A and B are shown apart, each in its own frame.
Chain A
Amino acid sequence: MQRDTTKRFYAVHSWVGAITAVLIFIIAFTGAVSVFGRPEIKTWAHEVSHVPAELDPLRIEQVLREDAATVPEAYLDNIQVLMPGVRRRPVLSVQFDREVETADGRTEHHIIRFDHDPKTYELVDRLEGEPREVFENEPKDLADFIITFHADLHLGDPIGLLLTGLLGLTLFASIVTGVITHRKVLKEAFTFRPFRSLRLLFTDSHKVLGVWGLVFNSAIAFTGAFLGLAVVLLLPAAAYVSFEGDLDKMVETYLPLNEPQKSGIPAELKIAEVLSAVDQPENGPIVSAQLLTGTDQAGVAHVYTLAGDGIGGETHRYQLNGTVLESVTSQFSQLGGAAGPILDAMFPIHFGNFGGTVVKLIWFVLGLGTALLAVSGSMIWVERRVHGSSGSLSVASYRRISRFTVGACCGVVLATVTLFHLQLFVLPQVATTQTWLMGTFFGSWALAIVWSMLRTNDYQTTRELLGLTGAAAALVPIANGFVTGNHLLNVFSGGHWVVAGVDLGLLLLGAALVVIALKLPSQRPLRKSENRQSASPSSGLSGDLAYPEASTS
């Protein structure tokens, strides 16, 4: 009975993994890259932010007052100042928000946004419209593209988010069934025999990545499922029960903005003292500041910072009159009970943005591990069917699946690297950035898949695609140096540390991929014992089930 149960868990693990492997690889890989999406890759992508700007509260206040003087009074009750080079903005943005009641009683927002050069504070752009419209129309860069692709595969809301959320669930199921199936896996945690046989290379890799990535992968699967499904499915469902389907009303009830009551006494717009008060070593970097009824004596400021000593970002609420600190709260602490700390932890744990560059590096490496876990499992599944006794399809069919897997997985890595070149040479010169990003990414990915499907030797194809990707990645720093003048050799004089970090990362990864491509075999190595195993008349699953125990002999 116990053997049957283990067989069932193994079959579930095997089939869930086989079906979702390529998608999990894609999402895990782009997720690993997205860890450095904001602000590192975004900073790299925009020459204006290569050298970080020092926070000058007085200049920011001056710019705020100049911009405010040009907008109607109705826009002055909700103002946001978004800092450059911290999260999403390469420039300094001042955004004025007006609420409008529609004929059917709903509330819509209309914004006017001023973008300023982060060093000279010169106005570089002015945008106006509904927030969603402004966001969709503004030029995109490779960081936006990769992050959005990771979040919803560019399939949008709700299909894309549902799909990535469901993949989080299936990854969770794979992890749990994998642990139950491989009960000896903790004893084998340090076992890695890459030179003994191809089969042991695949299975040991899968087990090592699975064991050591267990906590990380579980956290990512859990939080990823939440992030994908909560917004499009679970929160609207909850709102249906308690708030007649009005999600905005539910959010406003649980997370009220606490707008102050106007006193009627006018005040001059100010922000400098508040920014200076928050800009301290014990606080995380300032992301943005929001002024509510800032032209009234009763006005307040909410200053949002990244994680300092804690795990999540913080909101510092100040009375503008006298710059009096009212509270320092986390994003969801208003919820109270267990809900607040849980939600505060969900986003930072998934994004890895709670502990500076070192934690981001850890999340990046472990994220690549998640991607390799999926693809190593896929290799095991295919290997047992092409060269073993499992499976009901023809060997040719399994070989096609293998070729598709190689093309899709290696291709997405290649496509991501091509975006760096696109960002340097094309995007600053075109208005239709999203079209170029989509075309280049999906075009190069498709070419990789077609190339792989046309070839007959997976091993050679893998070498070719990895080698090409490695060379392309290693060339990015050189290209960056030619285009922008900022490169690794002049970082000490130039001060473009973030750019140098991204360049160095691409150089090292590129070199590593080239070395791996050169060391990989150009065809499948065989052992005589594998020929004998493939002839054994075992049923699919019992043959497979003997395999985990047999690997330790």
Chain B
Amino acid sequence: MVWTVLSLGMMLVAAKLLAGNGRSAAGWALAFASAAPLVAIMNLAKAVFIWLALLGLAGFAVTLATGLTNRSQGQQASAES
């Protein structure tokens, strides 16, 4: 469990870096490096499946958090009575 959580943490940081700059070398490197804790403790197929799932989860979490906290991306919709 600890290693999977570590992998998720690394993936979240990678996603945050890539959200800011899609070409960030550090972001891409960290994204792939986040597979290492998983490969270290389980067989490759299992590690790949979990890594792919973590990629989706991290990307979604960072995108959601950025969108919800960054109101300057656009005006708030006005309600019509």
Contact = CB atoms under 8 A, between A and B. Distances in A.
- Check A-B contact in the complex, CB < 8 A: yes
Interface of A: 187, 189-198, 200, 204, 208-209, 211-216, 219, 307, 309-311, 341, 345, 349, 354-359, 362-363, 365-366, 369, 521, 523, 525-527
The 3 closest A-B pairs by CB, nearest first: A192-B67, A196-B74, A212-B60
B79 to A, nearest CB: 5
Contacts of A209: 60
A358 B5 contact: yes
B77 A214 contact: no
B46 A192 contact: no
A190 B78 contact: no
Contacts of B75: 195-196
Interface centre among B22, B57, B62 (most CB of A within 10 A): B57
A296 B80 CA distance: 82
B67 A310 contact: no
A341 B46 CA distance: 12
B46 A307 contact: yes
A355 B5 CA distance: 12
Contacts of B76: 195-196
B57 A362 contact: yes
B67 A366 contact: no
B77 A198 contact: yes
Nearest to A189: B59
B80 A525 contact: yes
B14 interface: no
B30 interface: no
Contact of B46 (A219, A309, A363): A309
Given A190-B62, A193-B67, A355-B46, A521 B79 contact: yes
A363 B53 contact: yes
B63 A190 contact: yes
Contacts of A211: 59
B29 interface: no
Contact of A215 (B5, B42, B52, B74): B52
B64 A192 contact: yes
A248 B79 CA distance: 63
Given A215-B53, A358-B1, A362-B54, A197 B60 contact: no
Given A309-B46, A357-B1, A194 B68 contact: yes
Contacts of A194: 67-68
A356 B4 CA distance: 10
Contacts of A190: 18-19, 22, 59, 62-63, 66
A193 B45 contact: no
Contacts of A349: 49
A357 B4 CA distance: 10
30 contacts: A189-B59, A190-B18, A190-B63, A190-B66, A191-B63, A191-B67, A192-B68, A194-B68, A196-B73, A196-B75, A197-B74, A197-B77, A198-B77, A200-B74, A208-B60, A208-B63, A208-B67, A212-B55, A215-B55, A216-B52, A310-B42, A310-B45, A341-B45, A356-B1, A357-B1, A358-B1, A362-B54, A366-B56, A366-B57, A525-B78
